[in-house]
Each structure stands twice: as structure tokens, then as C-alpha cells.
Amino acid sequence: MNMWDDRYRTHDTVYGVQPNAFWASQLALRTPGSVCLPCDGEGRNAVHAAQQGWAVTSCDLSEVGVNKAQALAQERGVEIHAEVANALEFHPSQHFDVVGLVFSHMPPAVREAFHHRAWSWVKPGGVLVVEGFHKDQLGLGSGGPKQLDMLYDHDTFRRDVEEAFDDATTIWSARCEQILDEGPFHQGFAVTQQVVLLKQHA
């Protein structure tokens, strides 16, 4: 059984129904356009974007998660295009003004390839918005992978994206200490890494 199917099935919500605060704050700075959210789970971030007037494409490996995302969208009176897909095999049919990686941690063997794929989905002039757990999160009980090499720091996206692509510029990168309140699996003091990368026009 898919571990995520099991987790999403056995909890009303895993990470709550309110959007990630950093994601919401970044959308609020921008004129609504198109958004892509891989690894979107139960849809809290996709549905929030749709409520703010964005055209939303999302995917998740978990069919249970995607079904809950679609149900949340219907409950909130908005539309999202959500499909069941492995983010490493997902092939969206367009490019996007904003691509969001919200706690989208990957094993080190595939992380760089995933970040390259996510970057390829960003339109020129668009941004990649990231929040994930920092390496200093290891040992804290507020969420995230329990393997150091699955966590982020300032150099992760500089190395994976900015140094790999001539059109990538980091416009925000910060280690953030905060109190998470995102459903039962993200609760309490946490250390995250926030990144925003701008794709330059050719």
C-alpha cells in the first residue's frame, strides 16, 4: 500500500486545510496567473491559490490525497486540475508563472533531477517558490524527513538550480525559525529553508 494513501486515509487532514504561510505570502505579492504544485497532498495550497484567482495544476502520488484535494476545492467553490502522478514522471502541458515546492522533500538520488524538472516548468519571468525543512530540523518533532540528506540548507537550491541554469537568480533565501501549526504532522518549533528563484527572460 502507498504509505501516503494510508496516512491520508487514516487522518481527517494530515497538514491541515489552511495554506502554508510562506506560500500564501508569496502569492499575495503577485498578480494571479498560473500555478503548478507537485507533491500537493490533500490540496490545501492548491485550493488557496485557486481561491486567490490563480489557475491551478497540481499532482500527488496519493490517489487518496488527490481525491481529498478535489473535495476541498468543491467545498470551497473553486476549480483545480489535480491528478494522481509521481512528480518525477509528471508532464504538465504548459509552463507556469509560479511553481511551488512546499515540503516536497526527495531522496538525494533523485532530488537534483526533481528540482531540474520543477525549474523547467517555470515560465520566463516566473518564479520557483520553495519551503522545506532545514538541516537544523533534524531531531525536532515538528515534522519532516528523519534523514539529514533529505533536508535543505541555503546551498541546496543554489547548487541544484542557480548554478545549473544560466536563467536562474535567487531573489530570496532564508533559514527560518518558526512555530508550525499545520495539522497533526506539522506542529511546534521548526526550522525551515525558504527560497524564491526568478527565471530570467531570454
Q: pLDDT by residue (tens digit) across 85-135?
A: 999 999 999 999 999 999 999 999 999 999 999 999 999 999 999 999 999
Helical (H) or strand (E) element with 176: strand 168-182
Which CA distances in Å does 44 have to 48, 90, 98, 150?
A: 6, 20, 16, 23
pTM: 0.97
Q: What is the CATH number of the domain that holds 135?
A: 3.40.50.150
pLDDT > 80? residue 1 = no
Residue 40 parent element (H or E)? none
Owning domain of residue 177: 3-199
Pairing label, strands 55-60, 81-84: parallel
Stretch 49-53: mean pLDDT, rounded?
98
In tens, the pLDDT along 128-170 reads 999 999 999 999 999 999 999 999 999 999 999 999 999 999 9
Identify the three-state secondary structure at position 9.
helix
Q: Domain tally for the chain?
A: 1
DSSP conformational letter for 138: T
Quick one: how far is CA 68 from the chain centroid?
A: 17
Handedness of CA 180, 176, 7, 141 (dihedral sign): negative
